[in-house]
Amino acid sequence: MMNKEEFIQLLQDKKYKTAQNILSEMNDMDTAAFLEELDAKECALAFRLISKEKAADVFSCMNSKMQTFLVDMFSETELKELLDDLYMDDTVDMLEDLPANLVTRILKNLDSTKRSTINKLLKYPEDSAGSIMTTEYVTLKKTMTVKQAMNHIKEIGIHKETIYTCYVTENKRLMGIVTAKSLMTSDDNENITNLMNTNIISVHTHTDQEQVAHLFRKYDLIAMPVLDSDGCLVGIVTFDDAMDVMVDETNEDISRMAAMEPNEKTYFETTVWQQAKHRILWLLVLMFSATITGSIITRYENAFSAVPLLVSFIPMLMDTGGNCGSQSSTLIIRGLALGEIHFKEIFKVMFKEFRISLIVGSILAAANGLRIFIQYQNFNIAIVVALSLMVVVIVAKLIGCILPLFANKFGVDPAIMASPLITTIVDTCSILVYFNIAVHVFNIVV
């Protein structure tokens, strides 16, 4: 791929034909990424060099900031040509990120049919199947033969987002699906009814988009039909949109697992103030919740005075408990996301985590207890720390598996129950367990 400086030099030397040839040989996504690296003026000039057939695909791959700039810069003719070639779902995605004045301008450049369709798509709830579907798909009739179906696809397929899966409908109701492979490998006179698959995996317009992505992953689909409340086919979700959902959901979960508010913008697109705002709320909550741990420690001042060495093991216990809880919660959250674990299996999960904690806790307790005894020659302290570790690991792993399951049960994102929150809860439990055991072993009056 040509580097940016060489390409800019071509534009400055007005060698537009050479620059056009370079862009035509690049993949659409690579072209979009390359143009985004250019300055605004250079990007606008380079985009105009892209062929009409390729321009819409490149535009749909660009980030919202660059799309906004280009739409604002386009003439009415250029804008109309772009909108004519953009797929419906890409148009809707673009409109959701554009300023209101540009949305109004775009809608004015659409015909009444497209405008009506886009308005319907924009009204579907965010994160629903309806909000990510496209209305550009191939429909066939049951009465068609393979030859008639192929002629129909050749006639209208160029304007559809996918032709690999075709949908057999009757009065707008979905009767079955036919793959391009079936059509191309069957006799011309074969009836569509004999080829269509009636065992259809479909979703409704209000189905959560995360559930849609899960079905794509589970059934290895290329496209999935979307039905309205009357059971009529109103659109399809394609694999690329499902992949975008998976990426967005993963990014959202990563943010929440790190105790931050999800953010759709990239790291450098987000201002310092916005970054701080997304992080500060959870940090405040976790900071003030940590005062509970401080209050508990203060309550056991007599234990410190009697055996000062006890204080030195607090960080190790708290860190071990937090790490054990985080391990369990991460695995449970992953299982929930993939549909491998359900709330009804909570006792099965708890029993498994309990058995794991017995093994892990025993090894950690034995190793640390032996180390402490050798280092300090104090059997009582070794017993206190070993027993505390054993109990802390058990408690931490149970908390780590229970909280995400309950969060999911009550409609809360399980990722919220990940590392920071669970660590804070486990820290409190660790201190309570540790000092209660120490008080009883050393016969300290609190």
CATH number at residue 295: 1.10.357.20
Chosen domain end from 123, 158, 191: 123
| Residue 266 counted as domain residue | no
CATH of the domain at 159: 3.10.580.10
The rounded distance, in Å, linking the Cα atoms of 421 and 285 is 9
pLDDT at 196: 94
pLDDT at 398: 95
How many domains, the chain? 3
Over residues 421-444, the pLDDT tens digits come to 788 888 889 989 998 898 888 887
Both 113 and 192 in one domain: the answer is: no
The rounded distance, in Å, linking the Cα atoms of 427 and 317 is 8
Both 179 and 205 in one domain: the answer is: yes
Q: For residue 181, which phi and psi values (nearest 5 degrees)?
A: -60, -45
Q: How far is CA 128 from CA 45, 131, 249, 264, 409, in A?
A: 37, 5, 13, 17, 20
pLDDT at 418: 64
Contact call for residues 380 and 219 (beta carbons, < 8 A): no
Instruction: Find the mean pLDDT for residues 32-38.
Output: 89
| Residue 100 counted as domain residue | yes
For tokens 């011309």, the residue is 188
Both 15 and 110 in one domain: the answer is: yes
User: What is residue 172's DSSP assignment?
Assistant: T
Please report the DSSP string for 387-412 in residue order: HHHHHHHHHHHHHHHHHHHHHHHTT-
**Burial tier of 53 (Cβ tally within 10 Å: 0-12, 13-18, 19+):** exposed
| Residue 221 structural domain | 139-248
pLDDT at 111: 83
- Say yes or no to pLDDT of 259 above 60: no
Both 342 and 388 in one domain: the answer is: yes
The rounded distance, in Å, linking the Cα atoms of 79 and 70 is 9
Both 386 and 306 in one domain: the answer is: yes
pLDDT at 124: 92
CATH of the domain at 14: 1.25.60.10
**Confidence band, pLDDT 50/70/90 cuts, at residue 40:** confident
Residue 144: CB partners within 8 Å, gap ≥ 6?
Answer: 152, 191, 192
Both 12 and 90 in one domain: the answer is: yes
Both 224 and 175 in one domain: the answer is: yes
Both 67 and 188 in one domain: the answer is: no
| Residue 43 counted as domain residue | yes
For tokens 């820290």, the residue is 427
Over residues 340-398, the pLDDT tens digits come to 899 999 999 999 999 999 999 999 999 999 999 999 898 999 999 999 999 999 999 99
Beta-strand pair 233-238/223-227: antiparallel
| Residue 267 counted as domain residue | no
Both 96 and 200 in one domain: the answer is: no
Both 173 and 91 in one domain: the answer is: no
Both 33 and 110 in one domain: the answer is: yes
Over residues 105-135, the pLDDT tens digits come to 888 888 888 888 888 888 899 889 999 999 9
pLDDT at 105: 87
Chosen domain end from 185, 220, 248: 248
